[in-house]
Structure 1
Amino acid sequence: MTQGLVVRAQNGDAAAFGALIAAHYDRIHRVAWKWSGNASDAEDIAQDVCVKLGRVIGQFDGRSAFSSWVYRITINAVRDLQRQSTRRARHAEAYAEVAPDDHPAEQEAAATSVQLWAAVRRLPEKQRDAVLLVYAEELSHAAAAEIMGIGEATVSFHVHQARKTLRGLL
């Protein structure tokens, strides 16, 4: 089904392109949220990705799954925004906020989650990408390798290195 929509969208069918965006928007936004840790940035990234998909849909050659191609575009959009943010010295918001009326155990779990994902976002780029794809997106090492454009063993290496790095950060 997706392949047919892609071909139609590449041939200028606006309804097919809309159907592709509708089918992939939630994933695009979720990935943007997990990578950026900021709701506002995630919305901006998701919108930018949708616009970019409209411009580059003709470049999709089918060598990988369409969803993998969309992941790569989304991850690159996140990196672009992060580079811009770094240049402007903006600070990212926490992955999630702990509400004051939460129960203490829930606050502690939420705080731990916030600290963990904040630490993940400080990892070197390849380690961060591997961890987020494997653990946040729950993809196999093979699927993460396809998205990252590297070998499966290299994904495993980056995940292993990330674990060691995170032990030092937490």
Structure 2
Amino acid sequence: MYPDDETLARAAASGDRAAFGLLVARVYDRVYGYAVRLTGNPAEAEDLAQDLCAALPGKLRSFRGEAKLSTWLYRIAVNAARDRFRRQATRARAAAGWGDWEEARQAANAEEAARRDWLAEAMACLNDDLRETLALVLDGVSHAEAGAVLGVSEGTISWRISEAKKRLRAVRDADAAGESR
């Protein structure tokens, strides 16, 4: 019915519900997959992806088509994730000192994090720039597109990927040697 995502986005921004439904069906798995790699938590990724899709009708009105829709969506996802991480940090600071309940909650969260797969744990060791960059590239985004999403040059993306690989190798080697991270 609609040949490409950009055409769907324009139709959805004009109020075409069928176009919006088809657009969400096309992009949801990519947005969710990126969110999983970024957060390392499928439940949190689901919340993030659903929040993004819920906000999408209003945001589509600002889509100008200057970049690919996927690049534009990744940029929105990066911003939404950053906002979510800031809110979580604020809540964690506010919750500090709540006594035994907070300690038990934090212990339960630590146990859950310990059960995540190796890559999610290793990616958590990376700084925000490296983790965001690696999650985009693992999602199949080219270095040029990742640069556009994150607002940096393609060369910076290549350096970040190289640096992330180096740090992941160090984590792998430390795990193999039984060393702590």
**TMscore range, shorter length:** 0.7 to 0.9
Are 1:125 and 2:128 an aligned pair? yes
**How far apart, in 1, do the equivalents of 2:45 and 2:133 lie?**
19
Are 1:61 and 2:25 an aligned pair? no
Shift of 1:8: 1.1
**How far apart, in 1, do the equivalents of 2:126 and 2:75 lie?**
18
Q: Secondary structure at the match of 2:71?
A: helix
Of 127, 150, 153, the match for 1:151: 153
After TM superposition, the structure 1 stretch with the greater mean CA deviation from structure 2, 151-160 or 74-83, is: 74-83
| Cα deviations by residue, 1:16-39 (Å, 9 ceiling, x for unpaired) | 111111111111111111111112
Q: Match of 1:44?
A: 47
- The 8 Å contact of residues 10 and 57 in structure 1, kept in 2 or not, is answered as yes
Q: Secondary structure at the match of 2:61?
A: helix
Letter in 2 for 1:46: A
Q: Match of 2:15?
A: 12
Gaps of 5+ in 2: 93-105, 175-181
Q: 1:152 to 1:10 in 2, by over 3 A?
A: same
- Percent identity reads 39
Letter in 2 for 1:139: V
Are 1:140 and 2:159 an aligned pair? no
Which structure: larger Rg?
2
After TM superposition, the structure 1 stretch with the greater mean CA deviation from structure 2, 87-96 or 42-51, is: 87-96
- Normalising by structure 1, what TM-score? 0.78
Aligned residues: 153
- The 8 Å contact of residues 72 and 147 in structure 1, kept in 2 or not, is answered as yes
Letter in 1 for 2:57: G
After TM superposition, the structure 1 stretch with the greater mean CA deviation from structure 2, 75-84 or 47-56, is: 75-84
| Cα deviations by residue, 1:31-72 (Å, 9 ceiling, x for unpaired) | 111111112111111110001211110101111100111111
- Normalising by structure 2, what TM-score? 0.74
Q: Match of 2:6?
A: 3
Letter in 1 for 2:113: A
Q: 1:94 to 1:138 in 2, by over 3 A?
A: farther
Letter in 1 for 2:67: S
Are 1:163 and 2:161 an aligned pair? no
- The 8 Å contact of residues 10 and 60 in structure 2, kept in 1 or not, is answered as no
Say what the alpha-carbon RMSD is for the aligned residues: 2.2
Gaps of 5+ in 1: 98-113
